[in-house]
Amino acid sequence: MQVYWQNGSVTSSVGSKPVVAGLGFFDGVHLGHQAILLRVLELANEMGGLPLMVTFDRHPLAMISPDSVPLLLNHATERRSYVWELGIEAIAELVFDKQFSELPPEEFVTRILAQQLGVVAVVAGEDFHFGYRGEGGIKLLKQLGPAWGIRITDVVEPVLVKGVRVSSTRIRALLKAGNVKEAARCLGRPYRLRGPVVVGEGRGRHLGFPTANLDIPKERLVPKDGVYAVTVEVVDDFFDTQGVSIADTAEMMGVLSIGDKPTFHGTERAIEVHVLHRQESYYGKELEISFHEWLRPSERFADAQELQSQVQRDIETTRRLFKTMPWAGGGKIYSHRAL
């Protein structure tokens, strides 16, 4: 177990302060997760305790059923960043290895929560399960907790958007359908991807629209193939003490394409973004992309000139969207001063 602190330090324990713990994997840190963590903050303030998120270093299915692991909505470092923005002071990441997957649920409560972490209150969603084969749940926490000093087990009701429960599964389905606007409503922020810029084929530059080709980790969920209106941030070349890269505050409009370049008979899926207003080389840099709207599907055009005309229309559409529909979310205000 490693405990990551908001001030950048990493320890193996939380010290002597009583702990209020939010439990879950928290993939995406969506509105449902935020409701849990905000309740943790509320209880910690009332009890004079430490607000802590207890999670895992990998998706539990990676050990239990590797073929069923879903594509992830964020990397662990991104997840920490979102949690810090909410005000959580520490994150305990448990190593979900074979030994941990076989841990009896009673031992998870007694040894890890009560003894190692000093938890006095627990907050979780109604569907949270733990221990061998997921046999532990909220009912067991309420039964075992008091005997080990866990005085409160608080269950947070699901958050609904348009009458439907917010979940990581729902968000994945929306992104796979290209519905990034609805996904943003469930996340409380635009969906984001981050990756280094790698050398591409250079066709965009020859067409007059240079693109930065992104290398996205294979475990991350990439939205449906198509063209999107996005904002782009350059991630600086330095890192904080947790190894989390720091993003430049200036956001730029962009048009992003996901697909196999059908006009040029491509066979490999590519993710490339044309950044408006700032035509420079991004090789060797890392970009963070925020998805705002799906513009159109990937298409095969008769020739490069026809493609060039369509890209120009995509750029004009994106400009109009950002002029009439400013977005905000996730604690960030999308300023148009830099656009």
The pLDDT of residue 210 is 86
- Sorted by sequence, the CB contacts under 8 Å of residue 25 that are 6+ apart come out as 55, 56, 59, 60
The pLDDT of residue 108 is 92
Last residue in a domain, options 161, 177, 200: 161
Residues of the chain with pLDDT under 50: 237-248, 263-265, 327-339
Sign of the CA dihedral running 178, 181, 187, 189: positive
The pLDDT of residue 243 is 47
The pLDDT of residue 95 is 94
Residues 241 and 288 in one domain: yes
Split into its structural domains, the chain has a count of: 2
The pLDDT of residue 327 is 45
Q: pTM (2 decimals)?
A: 0.87
**Which CATH number is 118's domain given?**
3.40.50.620
* Interval 71-80: pLDDT, tens: 999 999 999 9
Q: Tell me the residue range of the domain where 133 lies.
A: 2-161
CA distances from 265 to 186, 243, 269, 312 (A): 36, 39, 11, 21
Residues 127 and 206 in one domain: no
The pLDDT of residue 192 is 97
Residue 235 to residue 194: CA distance in whole angstroms: 9
The pLDDT of residue 184 is 97
The pLDDT of residue 255 is 95
- Sorted by sequence, the CB contacts under 8 Å of residue 58 that are 6+ apart come out as 96
Last residue in a domain, options 161, 181, 216: 161
